Structure 1
Amino acid sequence: MGFHPDRIESLKTAISEAVTNAIEHGNQHDEAMKVVVLLTARDDGLVISVADQGQKILPQEHTTPSPQIADVMERSDKGGWGIWLIRELMDEVEFTTAPSGGNQVRMVIHLEP
């Protein structure tokens, strides 16, 4: 599509974080549940949708503040960066309930002129 290599790395990282969140938080590590990733090319960019089948509906408005480095580094699981990272790397991010239930994140990355 013509993305700069740095934007491709951002895209790969954001998708990886979204899928990891869907597996861990949405589907609760249930191997019987699926994660669906849909990519839609547009003239001005790429739309990525990641949906889980989880019964636990996550808050639709994520107001997670930027994690403090010291707070995260002290935790043993090193979690807390995923949503923040996705928001930093993508041009648009929206969290909703998927049409079939579960959670969905819609991310958009624009082509630079």
Structure 2
Amino acid sequence: MLTSRTGPTPEVTSSRPPTIPRTPPVVPATFVPHPSESSIVISISKFRGLCHTLQTLTATQSVLAQQMAAICAHQDQLIATQTQHTVILRQIQHHLGILSPPEHDMLGLS
């Protein structure tokens, strides 16, 4: 937009808001790491990359934990089914008069 002053030269004004400079994070000048700690300086882009990697690892860990829970539930279901089948097999063996091997022998085979 053009506006004019009292003089002959027109002045150009912008409709953009003035740019506000970013202020860096405040770090106490007296910060001294503990003697057992070491400090490093990394660029902001590397820091952001590390943050992104941490977020990815956290999400992956969550998915793996869910999958492990599903596997454990499936394993529990398989064990319950196997137990039912063992009971049925013993009932059939008893009905037919077939002696089943002692329990400790069967456990040693599996």
TM-score, length of structure 2 as denominator length: 0.25
More strand by share: 1
More helix by share: 2
TM-score, length of structure 1 as denominator length: 0.24
Relative contact order, higher structure (CA 8 A, sep 6+):
1
